[in-house]
Amino acid sequence: MINNVQKYPLIVGNWKLHGSKRMIKDFILSLKYEIRHITSCGIVIAPPVIYLDFAQYCLNNSNIMLSAQNVDVHNEGAFTGEISAEMIKDVGAKYIIIGHSERRIYHDENNNIIAKKFWITKQVGLIPILCIGENKEEYLSNKTIEVCVQQIDAILHRFGIKAFDNSVIAYEPLWAIGNQVSPDPDYVQSIHQYIRQYLAKYDKNIAQKIIIQYGGSVNVNNVVGLLEKTDINGVLIGGASLKYDIFSNIVKIIEKTKNI
Ligand code: PGA
């Protein structure tokens, strides 16, 4: 049995294809005020990449961090329309979400492409948030563990366990994203625990420290039940991260839950 030693919950708001300059300015100013006393959580927002620079400007003097939602597999060159990890770093972001199911589904990203994106993120010194998880059919046929292990192995077998040092895994069952249904916290805990034990076979220290987030219809009502579980170290929030009052309430609830 491997004990999770991660005491610093990581809360990431994934805005997907939402936002505007006005919304970002209002959101960040209000969020900064609402969570000014919170010091024991990592708080990250992931606006569309075009707004990262502006968001960084608005965040001035704040502990709130930035994430991109995607990255290219190259760092420079003739790749029209792409954004590199170096550029994301250059504008001040610290994290990049890699392999979100919406990228896997709508942009045909497979485990091979995702592994390259994960690696280039590490190479420039940013932190990848690797999204893994099963779809409904896989869930119903008890393939959750098999799918998650395959998605982790795509990185583990190519780059080794050290790639997971200072990386984040987000377990996001596809059937729970954006549909108001979130799985039973005991179920989520069992998957997170399995992932941690699996990584521990390769490196106990990395497995104990790695942040394993849950994502999929997280809201003010279900977040306590989830964060009470020992192996759930944070949340990746979509819809409920778009309003500063809801997002800041979730942050406050998590701080209380993890401090009990
Ligand atoms: P949701 O999205 O919170 O709206 O379900 C989560 C995600 O896709 O990361």
Instruction: Choose, from 109, 172, 192, 255, the residue flagged as catalytic.
Output: 172
* 178 CB within 6 A, ligand 1: yes
Beta bridge partners of 127: 95
**pLDDT (tens digit, 9 = 90+) per residue, 46-55?**
999 999 999 9
Residue ID of nearest Cα to ligand 1 atom 1: 238
Residue ID of nearest Cα to ligand 1 atom 6: 238
Query: What pTM was estimated for this model as a whole?
Result: 0.97
CA–CA distance, 204 with 4 (Å, rounded to integer): 10
CA–CA distance, 13 with 241 (Å, rounded to integer): 5
Work out which ligand 1 atom sits closest to the CA atom of 217. 5
* 125 CB within 6 A, ligand 1: no
Structure tokens at 197: 């034990």
**Which of these, 106, 189, 204, 121, lies nearest to 155 by C-alpha position?**
121
**Which of these, 18, 92, 83, 105, lies nearest to 57 by C-alpha position?**
92
Q: Do the beta carbons of residue 212 and residue 169 sit within 8 Å?
A: yes
Please spell the DSSP secondary structure of the chain, one letter per residue: -------S-EEEEE--S---HHHHHHHHHHHHHHTTT--SSEEEEE--GGGHHHHHHHHSS-S-EEEES---S-SSSS-TT---HHHHHHTT--EEEES-HHHHHHS---HHHHHHHHHHHHHTT-EEEEEE---HHHHHTT-HHHHHHHHHHHHHHHH-GGGGTT-EEEE--GGGTTSS----HHHHHHHHHHHHHHHHTT-HHHHHH-EEEEESS--TTTHHHHHTSTT--EEEESGGGSSHHHHHHHHHHHHHHHH-
Q: Catalytic: 255?
A: no
Q: According to the model, what pLDDT value does residue 52 have?
A: 98
Question: What is the chain's mean pLDDT, rounded?
Answer: 96
pLDDT category, 190, cuts 50, 70, 90? Answer: very high
- Residue 188 φ/ψ, nearest 5 degrees: -60, -45
Q: Catalytic: 134?
A: no
Work out which ligand 1 atom sits closest to the CA atom of 131. 9
* 218 CB within 6 A, ligand 1: yes
Residue ID of nearest Cα to ligand 1 atom 3: 238
Residue 170 CA to ligand 1 centre (angstroms): 11
**pLDDT (tens digit, 9 = 90+) per residue, 157-169?**
999 999 999 999 9
**pLDDT (tens digit, 9 = 90+) per residue, 65-109?**
999 999 999 999 999 999 999 999 999 999 999 999 999 999 999
Residue ID of nearest Cα to ligand 1 atom 7: 238
